Amino acid sequence: MRPLLLVRKQGVYGSLQDQGRYGYRAYGVPTAGAMDRRSFQASHLILGHTDNETSLELFIGGFEFEALAEATYVLTGAESICLVNGLPIEMWKTFQLKKGDRLTIQRVVKGAILYLTPYGGFQAEQQLGSRSCFPLGHMGESLQKGHILYGQSVASSTKTRGLYAPYRPQFESHRVVRAFKGPHFHLFSIESQQQFIETTFQFVSGNRMGYYLKGGVLQLQQPRDILSEATQFGTIQVPKSGEPIVLMADAQTVGGYPIIATVHEDDLDQIAQMRRLDTVKFTLMEV
Amino acid sequence: MQRMIEFPTAFWVSQYTIRFAFQEEISAENSRNVRLFRTFLQQALSADLLEVVASYATVTAYVKRKVALQPLREQWYAQQASIEVSVSHTPIQIPLCYDEEFALDMQRVMDYTGLAYEQIKQLHLAKVYRVYVIGFLPGFPYLGELAEALFVPRLAKPRQRVAASSVGIGGAQTGIYPLDSPGGWNIIGKTPLKLFQMQRAQPFLLDVGDCIQFYEITKAEFRQMEVNSY
């Protein structure tokens, strides 16, 4: 374990994440973990990690770090303007920081989330089998100015490695996302069922707990209460307002709003990378 | 003689999630069935099962790969009688101090219900509660059902911070805060027990389907037990 980075600017929202915390949903502990698993896994693939190492997940931009030691890193995820000592660097390819270097994640250009990973991963305390930050459950803390981030490994790698462009995920401003009918789909009015698949929804706001969409008012055939039941990362629930919410990695494990659909596991990264004004259309498929 | 419990309605939520639904109602019988079925799934799916979440009327299984439902149904009818015995219904005793220091919303509850402090305590103590769901926060139990005379709506404006181990009532349920957190339930007391403690071998005190009973303690006893609380 060694100090790697000092947080100079804390940006929009940053947190350490691994693959997630499994086995405690029955006790109300969400899985947490990287929201865009594809980009997260790519960073570990590039660095040659085989274990469940930890990355720093960064939203939107506004981050600045000072390197406290020499180390190798990679940035993956949303296309962003990233600078070392003021000069642009390439994502999806390893780069070195020397002591005193400044790494700036200015802002995303496409998509919303990026991952900063050092060789060996970041160090964080294992809590219930995972290093993923989940502040509401008092497991870790979100990134704050003045924090020092530690690396797991003292070794470093100088080999340059990367992921060829054709293999990098793309995050356009409009996406079509596969979803499965939810357990309460049939309770929605025929018009709302139709609307759900025909409407282009727009991202309004969101965080690691939920993404709020607008585009249509979805309604039940008859207003009624639903008994709370298990939800998951990708559950699309519809509160009384009629505007859908997609539950994300830190969402509570049970919910009492009608569930119209559930996002296909393999399309969660596309949802996770939505940002303001981005749009999505859902296409229903059979399990 | 045991009555056969029907195999619940199975529904694939996504590639790796199956939802099993019993009757859509809040009842002790449903809760028993749900817990029984959960235990059954843990045994029947074992290696294919990632985890399972039980609620009022549903059991949701997160699986590692597709599983065949027909054999599962047959197994359920064949094995349910033998599973029943492994489920205990002995209430877990939870000490509770209703002292004014902790009962932040007792005045509001008194105003709303028209009951006296003592009556509220007695009504709250009189029942054995069942953990219907755990959610909202790690280890937060939704306990039902509350005596109807104690139904009080949640706070219009939730508190920014409710202390861990506070006991609240809201609507038809009572609950215990496992962590310091924001919250909107009417706080009527506090237990010296910790519902969630990461370092403990079993971090969570309660499980879905558990029965619990509160017993009253004084503030002095509270202080003593808080020190000894594991």
Select from B17, B53, B181 the Cβ nearest to the Cβ of A253. Answer: B53
Task: Decide if pLDDT at B152 tops 70.
Answer: yes
Average pLDDT value for chain B: 93
| The predicted structure's pLDDT at residue B2 | 64
Q: Does B11 touch chain A (CB under 8 A)?
A: yes
A254/B24 CB distance under 8 A: no
Partner residues linked to A58 by β-bridges? A14, A114
- Out of A62-76, A157-171, B148-162, the most confident range is A62-76
- Write down all domains in chain B, each with its CATH number in brackets: 9-84 (3.30.1360.40), 92-228 (2.40.100.10)
Q: How far apart are CA B172 and CA B117, in angstroms?
A: 19
Of A42, A34, A282, the closest CA to residue A174 belongs to A282
With tokens 């027909």, the residue in question is B70
Average pLDDT in the A69-97 region? 97
Average pLDDT in the A213-231 region? 93
Average pLDDT value for chain A: 96
Chain A closest CA to B142's CA: distance in Å? 11
A252/B54 CB distance under 8 A: no
- The CA-to-CA distance between both ends of chain A, in Å, stands at 44
Q: In this predicted model, what pLDDT tens digit does every residue of A24-82 receive, in sequence order?
A: 999 999 999 999 999 999 999 999 998 889 999 999 999 999 999 999 999 999 999 99
Average pLDDT in the B31-51 region? 94
Select from A26, A136, A262 the Cβ nearest to the Cβ of B13. Answer: A262
B134/A180 CB distance under 8 A: no
Q: How far apart are CA A74 and CA A160, in angstroms?
A: 10
Average pLDDT in the B122-135 region? 96
A68 phi and psi, to 5 degrees? -100, -10
| The predicted structure's pLDDT at residue A247 | 98
Q: Name the segment(s) of chain A with CATH classification 2.40.100.10.
A: 174-285
Chain B closest CA to A83's CA: distance in Å? 38
Specify the pairing of strand A174-181 against strand A279-285.
parallel
Of A281, A244, A271, A201, the closest CA to residue A36 belongs to A271
Average pLDDT in the B22-51 region? 93
Most A-contacting residue of B9, B11, B14 (CB-CB within 10 A), to test interface: B14
Question: Confidence band (pLDDT; 50, 70, 90) for B83?
Answer: confident
Chain B closest CA to A286's CA: distance in Å? 9
Question: What contacts A217, CB < 8 A, 6 or more positions away?
Answer: A192, A241, A242, A243
Question: Confidence band (pLDDT; 50, 70, 90) for B84?
Answer: low
The three-state secondary structure class of B82 is: helix
Q: In this predicted model, what pLDDT tens digit does every residue of B157-174 receive, in sequence order?
A: 899 999 999 999 998 999
| The predicted structure's pLDDT at residue B1 | 47
Q: Are B150 and B112 in contact (CB under 8 A)?
A: no
Q: Please tell me the number of Cα atoms within 13 Å of B45 on its side-chain side.
A: 27
A254/B51 CB distance under 8 A: no
Task: Enumerate the residues of chain B whose CB falls inside 8 A of the CB of residue A22.
Answer: 50-51
| The predicted structure's pLDDT at residue A66 | 98
A182/B52 CB distance under 8 A: no
Most B-contacting residue of A177, A181, A227 (CB-CB within 10 A), to test interface: A227
Count of A–B CB contacts within 8 Å? 105
Q: How far apart are CA A35 and CA A47, in angstroms?
A: 19
B14/A263 CB distance under 8 A: yes
Question: Confidence band (pLDDT; 50, 70, 90) for B102?
Answer: very high
Q: What is the CATH architecture assignment of A174-285?
A: Beta Barrel (2.40)
Task: Decide if pLDDT at A128 tops 80.
Answer: yes
Partner residues linked to A94 by β-bridges? none
Average pLDDT in the A247-271 region? 97
The three-state secondary structure class of B167 is: strand
Q: How far apart are CA A7 and CA A82, in angstroms?
A: 15
Question: Confidence band (pLDDT; 50, 70, 90) for A118?
Answer: very high
Task: Decide if pLDDT at B35 tops 70.
Answer: yes
Task: Decide if pLDDT at A278 tops 50.
Answer: yes
Most A-contacting residue of B12, B17, B56, B207 (CB-CB within 10 A), to test interface: B17
ipTM over cut 0.90: yes
Q: Does B56 touch chain A (CB under 8 A)?
A: yes
Q: What angle do CA A71, A78, A267 make, to 5 degrees?
A: 120
Average pLDDT in the A16-30 region? 97
